[in-house]
Chain A
Amino acid sequence: MSTATIPVTTTDVGQHARAARPTYAPIPMRTVMGVELRKMFDTRSGFWLMASVVILAVIATGAVILFAPDADITYDSFAGAIGIPMTIVLPIIAALSITSEWSQRTGLTTFTMVPSRSRVVLAKLLDTVLVGIASILVALAVGALGNVVGSQLAGVPTTWDMTVSEVLYILAGNGLGLLMGFTLGVLFRNSAAAIVGYFVYAMVLPTLSALLASAQDWYADAQPWVDFQWNQTGLFDGGYGPTEWTQLLVTGTIWLLLPLAFGLWRVLRSEVK
């Protein structure tokens, strides 16, 4: 009988060498959306961009209380004043949510953790739409508060002269502006270019379009069918009929959907460096 025991070499192979590694569940959409939403707030610049929504709403409300004649202390005035900064801030938020992945090169990490870029982009889109809706509702609430306070201070009756449909028009107008910012972000993948692009769209093109319309009769007739900005901002005045909706659809397809589709196609195929 041999007493010699053969030394068993038990190398601690640890967790990695376990015969069968578990199959992992795919990352659910709500996780991607949650992370992308967090990324919109977790830097100083991102935080203040979001905070600016509330700050600008308060400033606009204060301005109406201070400077508007007593007869204009109505909810419509407050909502209108608040709406103007929104049309600038929301598209920038939307554009930056996309472009920061390239400008800050975080895409290297983002797209290795979630290789499906279309899911990341969709999550960002849904997040910006949610943030946009929430921002507008917060702004409208600030405006409502301003309306109550302002009418008390001015000693006029509090007037609620806004209908649900008007609110929906505002949401639609801002929503399309936000999508425009998002589209420019996807298209340029560069923060500066996307923001400049949005200002060209929102400030420069309308002026040129108006100038052309006043100089050329044929363009004045054609404008509603080619000028998306005209159709988009028209939503803030409301009262769209079938013709206006059709014009919005036609120009929206040309200015928004086609560039967005092209931009997405490039995002899915481009190299992330």
Chain B
Amino acid sequence: MITISHLTKTYGGFRAVDDVTFTAQPGRVTGFLGPNGAGKSTTMRIMVGLTPATTGEATILGRRFSELPNPGREVGVLLDASAQHAGRTGREILTLAQRTMRMPKSRVAEMLEVVSLTDEEAGRRVRDYSLGMRQRLGIAAALIGDPEVLILDEPANGLDPAGIRWMRDLLRGYADQGGTVLLSSHLLHEIEVIADDIVVIGQGRVVAQGTKHELLEAAGTYVRATDPARLAAALVAAGHPAEQITGLGQQGLRTDASTEQVGEVALAAGIALRELRPADGAGLEEMFLALTADTQRDDTQGEAA
């Protein structure tokens, strides 16, 4: 279990992490979602004591990271798969971790197998690894101490679709055994695929958190019509505020009304629909897009509502 309470980190006047509070529960995979520069990595570095917090506290299994006697046995950490000496072999990097944590020697070969790195690949120097191989090696190093908690920063970066599926299964199995997993990503899709709980962070602040189910449920209905402006007006007139959504190059509307209600409104107004379905994260996606946008996108809100 990871508990983050009122964590703040400032650099001069800039608040990189702003009053962040959340917990990652055992038995669940918690996704830490946010655009680049939102404060995910800084928050994770604070958790493991690499960056001092300005205020607030992060505890793992009830203790601060620096108080853990042999941290690798309790928390597996992967912050940056490329932060390794390029001249070391993969096997050597795992051996250093195995020795530091005082694990049996056999753990190295076991972990190589878990992450599907061959003997030949393990003997190669890390400079000759692809990013995907580095991620696998990093995950092996995080797992080597048989920890109870995993903290992984962008672990799916550089993995191909098969690799992402492999990691999802690995983390799922790990959480099902009672482990706590916190992983970050700047891609909503990755988080949707892997996580049970989602914490969304933007500009250092938590903007949404809950189970994946809750966050997707709250999304309402997604509808596309030949004349979206008229449909929006009709929905508003029927008491269902609608917002315009631009996704995959298509203009659609999202509303809290049910699909049935939207269909009736459209029929009554004589508007032909092109698509009508539950929004399935469209709201989450919209929020996420708004976070990634450099400027406030008040214009879309204004014309649709």
Interface residues in chain A, defined as those with a beta carbon under 8 Å from any beta carbon in chain B: 11-18, 21, 23-27, 31-32, 34-35, 38-39, 42-46, 100, 104-109, 111-116, 269, 271-273
Contacts and interface: CB of A to CB of B under 8 A. Distances in A.
Contact of A17 (B27, B69, B71, B99): B27
Contacts of B71: 112-115
Given A24-B74, A45-B87, A106-B83, A32 B48 contact: no
Contacts of B96: 35, 38-39, 42, 109
B99 A109 contact: no
Contacts of B68: 24, 115
Contacts of A34: 99
B: contact size bracket: 35 or more
A176 to B, nearest CB: 28
6 contacts: A12-B177, A25-B70, A35-B100, A106-B85, A109-B96, A112-B79
Contacts of A42: 88, 92, 96
Given A112-B79, A115-B65, A271-B50, A106 B84 contact: yes
Nearest to A104: B85
Given A14-B177, A24-B70, A104 B86 contact: yes
A112 B48 contact: yes
A111 B48 CA distance: 9
Nearest to B75: A112
B279 to A, nearest CB: 33
Contacts of A21: 74, 148
Contacts of A44: 87
B50 A272 contact: yes
Nearest to B85: A104
B73 interface: yes
Contacts of B101: 27, 113
> In this complex, which of B83, B86, B148 has the most chain A Cβ atoms within 10 angstroms of its Cβ?
B83
B179 interface: yes
A109 B66 contact: no
A39 B84 CA distance: 12
Given A112-B48, A269-B52, A25 B69 contact: yes
B102 A31 contact: yes
A266 to B, nearest CB: 12
Contacts of A111: 49-50
